[in-house]
């Protein structure tokens, strides 16, 4: 079992991809099933493409029935038309409805719930909002988005995640913030030490709910839900709803939620997918150096399987003169946040990561995703490559297979 306070979550086994597309990798402790996307990509390329009608928003940010100060902040961020999930979710949340939102990664789910909840808070500052996310990085990203569109509104948030000082978080929670954003394990830590009382949170968001279940948070989520007031507005966002996710859903929303699905398929249409066959390890690293030296590899996210392997690759790339750094579970939280900020700000252009970074993170303008180590399963593959081709931009995903 993982140390919750150190890693931000408890351990749980992810399901393996069941089918003929994987291969077994024999490790020191267990057999790990690895997903090979070759067959899936071949089918994608040979299947006739059906033209999709471009989505036309029914609303603009300016005609949402929200506070003018909030509209000003949205405009300041230079957001144009709402994405489909924002366009359809915001009006329903403003009505006070419970909502189940199903959408591909990178479709703007964070703003879909932050905009109406901020407006609700401006109308009644006694309202409190709890937002639960699967990873520290996603929770921090949600808080950053909160800061960007709540500027000057006199609203406050507290971040409750593993890897950071409990006493400092306790002090922030004692200030009675409007929004509390956190990971399940650390939120329960604060509940157990009585620095967080969930009985007065009448607005709750579960973000990336499927991933929370995947990584072993099922019981933690159920515990959190049991501590919430019955009279609340519940917002549930997920890329998929099946299996144990349905168990959470039944407990979480009321009997008449509105369901909004804007999922168009597993992979984004604007992500070109490639596979490179590697015969031996020496060829693999040389091929990576060759790719990264080409024009067009402007902002590259590389995924590896282990913390040690990711750090070793980062060291090798820096030795070769590349502007690269790594994030993984062995790094302190402040180091991980600093590295992500450097990547977002283009102070480094190559980020090497374990799958801690494969869900929910909105890193702008990633030109390429490279699966240096094959993903464990199909879902992991989809979420890795979803880090590129975001916000209607083109992206390329490359997977090394052996």
Distances from the Cα of 248 to the Cα of 96, 199, 201, angstroms: 20, 19, 18
Q: What is the pLDDT of residue 267?
A: 57
Tokens 């024999």 belong to which residue? Answer: 26
DSSP at 269: T
Residues of the chain with pLDDT under 50: 1-31, 45-51
**pLDDT value at position 161?**
95
List Cα–Cα distances, 270 to 167, 256, 264, 344, in angstroms: 45, 35, 12, 21
Tell me what pLDDT residue 359 has: 58
How many Å apart are CA 198 and CA 366, to the nearest integer? 38
**Alpha carbon distance 177, 186 (integer Å):** 17
Query: What pLDDT sits at residue 325?
Result: 96
pLDDT in tens, 292-314: 999 999 999 999 999 999 999 99
| CATH numbers and ranges of domains, the chain | 10-49+266-401 (3.40.50.300), 67-261 (3.40.50.300)
Residue for token pair 């168990």? 247
Q: What is the pLDDT of residue 383?
A: 80
Q: Give the integer Cα–Cα distance in Å for 219 and 367.
A: 37
Residue 317 is encoded by which pair of tokens?
Answer: 């790339």
pLDDT at position 9 is 36
Q: Going by C-beta distance under 8 Å and a sequence separation of 6 or more, which residues neighbour residue 316?
A: 285
- Give the model's pLDDT for residue 382: 81
Query: Number of H helices and number of E strands within the chain?
Result: 15, 15
Per-residue pLDDT, 27: 38
pLDDT in the model for residue 210: 84
**From CA 63, how far away is CA 73, in angstroms rounded?**
14
Q: What is the pLDDT of residues 1-18, one digit of tens each?
A: 334 333 343 333 333 322
Q: Give the pLDDT confidence score for residue 358 in this predicted structure.
A: 56
């Amino acid at each position: 079992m993982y140390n919750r306070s150190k890693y931000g979550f408890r351990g749980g086994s992810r399901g393996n991809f069941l089918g003929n597309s994987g291969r077994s990798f024999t490790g020191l402790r267990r057999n790990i099933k690895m997903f090979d996307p070759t067959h899936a990509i071949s089918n994608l390329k040979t299947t006739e493409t059906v033209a999709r009608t471009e989505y036309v928003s029914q609303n603009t940010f300016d005609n949402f029935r929200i506070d003018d100060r909030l509209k000003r902040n949205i405009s300041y961020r230079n957001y144009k038309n709402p994405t489909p999930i924002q366009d359809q979710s915001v009006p329903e949340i403003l009505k006070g409805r419970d909502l189940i939102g199903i959408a591909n990664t990178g479709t703007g789910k964070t703003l879909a719930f932050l905009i109406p909840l901020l407006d609700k808070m401006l109308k009644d500052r006694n309202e409190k909002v709890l937002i639960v996310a699967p990873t520290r990085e996603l929770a921090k990203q949600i808080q950053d988005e909160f800061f960007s569109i709540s500027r000057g509104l006199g609203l406050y948030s507290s971040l409750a995640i593993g890897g950071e000082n409990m006493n400092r978080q306790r002090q922030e929670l004692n200030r009675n913030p409007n929004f509390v954003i956190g990971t399940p394990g650390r939120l329960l830590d604060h509940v157990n030490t009585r620095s967080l009382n969930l009985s007065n949170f009448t607005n709750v968001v579960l973000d990336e709910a499927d991933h929370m279940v995947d990584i072993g948070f099922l019981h933690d989520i159920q515990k959190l839900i049991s501590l919430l007031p019955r009279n609340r507005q519940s917002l549930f966002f997920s890329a998929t709803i099946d299996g144990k996710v349905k168990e959470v859903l039944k407990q979480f929303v009321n009997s008449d939620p509105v369901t909004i699905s804007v999922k168009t398929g597993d992979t984004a249409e604007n992500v070109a997918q490639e596979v490179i066959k590697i015969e031996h390890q020496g060829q693999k690293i040389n091929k990576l150096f060759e790719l990264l030296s080409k024009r067009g590899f402007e902002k590259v996210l590389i995924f590896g399987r282990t913390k040690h392997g990711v750090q070793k690759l980062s060291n090798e790339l820096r030795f070769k003169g590349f502007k690269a750094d790594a994030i993984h579970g062995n790094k302190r939280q402040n180091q991980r946040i600093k590295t992500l900020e450097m990547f977002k700000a283009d102070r480094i252009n190559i980020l090497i990561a374990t799958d801690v970074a494969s869900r929910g993170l909105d890193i702008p303008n990633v030109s390429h995703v490279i699966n240096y180590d094959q993903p464990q399963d199909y879902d992991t593959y989809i979420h890795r490559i979803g880090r590129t081709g975001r916000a209607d931009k083109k992206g390329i995903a490359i997977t090394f297979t052996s």
